[in-house]
Amino acid sequence: MAGGSDVAEAALSCALCGKPAHLQCPKCVDLKLPREDAAFCTQECFKASWSSHKSVHLKAKLCTLGTAETLGDGWLYCLKKGQGRTPKLPHFDWTGTLRPYPISSMRTVPSHIDQPDWAIDIKSPEQIERMRETCRIAREVLDAAARVVRPGVTTDEIDRVVHEATISAGAYPSPLNYHFFPKSCCMSVNEIICHGIPDARKLEDGDIVNIDISVYYKGVHGDLNETFFVGNVDETSKQLVQCTYECLQKAISIVKPGVRFREIGEVINRHSSMSGFSVVKSYCGHGIGELFHCAPNIPHYGRNKAVGVMKAGQTFTIEPMINAGVCRDRMWPDGWTAVTADGKRSAQFEHTLLVTESGVEVLTARLPSSPDVFPWLKP
Ligand code: MF3
Ligand code: CO
């Protein structure tokens, strides 16, 4: 650091001690910063101020280079893994003098160019037709599983029904061996948020159980889940499950070309908090098609930083997990089972969706033959 230089007009007072100031920080002069904050009475005061004073140089430099806000539309700082963007430089204990700069919005690639698996792809009419077939099989498998839910049945027995129904349809149960998942579907009882492993426990009167079905057929995946009542369930659980169903319906109702993915979380958050429930943040909806899980990432919580806008031909899931108590989750030692941190119950519903020119097609929609198990859907 260089010493302070002489101040021409001495009407200023020392930034440190307040005495009449005769020196000015040369760096501040270079950067044309306000003279009032840059004046010092002596070298001693200047040196004593240096460790805190120098930060004004960096701040000034970042300002003159332009923040995301001054740069204009599409210029934002990247957050973790590119999942989020922000107009303000995030806080971090930067290790050197280098800082990230705002980044412009994502460039597009013409549709005739082949896309790798991380691109949000637009499905061809032929791919869409295969998605319809696959999602219909997934729906029928879920309905078959729903019909055997009752007190005394083990979740392993329901998994067997799922497995048989899937292979009878000529499809592969996508969860089986997916990242070494050991069973053909996920079954999440009571405080399990998602990814519960079917096991030897018998369902009990008063339980709630989510059955999550994913199948792979003709080269594409379909994914849906519903939460069922086992026998007689307490009032809070009934409200939780109905509220979760409504959260998914409300989220689906806003899907159409041009809507931002981040809006989905706003709709779900608004509805669940109205009933005093909380939204899980650790697990999100996802793009789906030739890949089981791909872009876009779809958070279900409010004020999320999801990037992108819906376009006709995209297929993705919405699958809100709503908790009776706190939103925080923990993982069982099996590395799969996600449970609520407070042990209170969690419910979930999921559909695979197609964005159409006019709105949305629910590819995993209920069929006339689907079992009539939800009281709020009864005529
Ligand atoms: N529908 C679940 C999901 O999208 C399927 C998980 S399969 C598992 O997360 F193998 F990962 F459990
Ligand atoms: Co899913």
- Can you give the CATH number for the domain in which 290 is found? 3.90.230.10
Residues 161, 254 within the same domain: yes
For 60-81, what is each residue's pLDDT tens digit?
Answer: 666 555 677 777 777 888 876 6
The pLDDT assigned to 45 comes to: 87
326-348 per-position pLDDT tens digit: 999 999 999 999 999 999 999 99
pLDDT value of residue 66: 61
Look at residue 118 in the predicted model and tell me its pLDDT. 83
**Average pLDDT value for the chain:** 91
Last residue of a domain, one of 23, 50, 83: 83
Q: What is the pLDDT of residues 265-286, one digit of tens each?
A: 999 999 999 999 999 999 999 9
Ligand located closest to 178 CA:
1
Residue 349 CA to its chain's centroid (Å): 16
Same domain, 37 and 170: no
Our answer on whether the CB atom of 214 is closer than 6 Å to any ligand 1 atom is: yes
Domain that holds residue 43: 5-83
pLDDT at 369: 98
Same domain, yes or no: 267 and 155: yes
C-alpha dihedral sign at 40, 45, 50, 52: negative
Ligand 1 atom 10: residue of nearest CA: 175
The CA distance from 354 to 255, in Å, is: 9
Find the mean pLDDT for residues 230-244. 98
Pocket mutation for ligand 1, best pick of 155, 162, 195, 318 (most atoms within 8 Å of C-beta) = 195
C-alpha span between 120 and 112 (Å, rounded): 14
- Ligand 1 atom closest to residue 174's alpha carbon, by position in its atom list: 7
Average pLDDT value for residue range 173-195 = 98
9 pLDDT more than 90: no
State if residue 186 touches ligand 1 by the CB under 6 angstroms criterion. Answer: yes
pLDDT of residue 106: 80
Identify whether 99 is part of a domain.
no
Assess whether the C-beta atom of 195 lies below 6 angstroms from ligand 1: yes
Whose tokens are 């497995």? That residue is 163
Verify that 55 and 192 share a domain, yes or no: no
Verify that 74 and 189 share a domain, yes or no: no
Is the separation of the CB atoms in 155 and 208 below 8 Å?
A: no
> Which pLDDT value is given to residue 6?
47
Q: How much is the pLDDT for 221?
A: 98
Is residue 146 lining ligand 1, measured as CB closer than 6 Å? no
For ligand 1, whether the C-beta of 226 sits within 6 Å is: no
Residue 75's contacts (CB-CB under 8 Å, 6 or more residues apart) are 68, 102, 103, 104, 105
Name the E strands within the chain. Answer: 5-6, 23-24, 39-40, 77-78, 85-86, 172-173, 186-189, 192-194, 208-217, 220-229, 278-279, 285-287, 294-298, 315-318, 321-323, 329-331, 338-340, 346-348, 351-355, 360-362
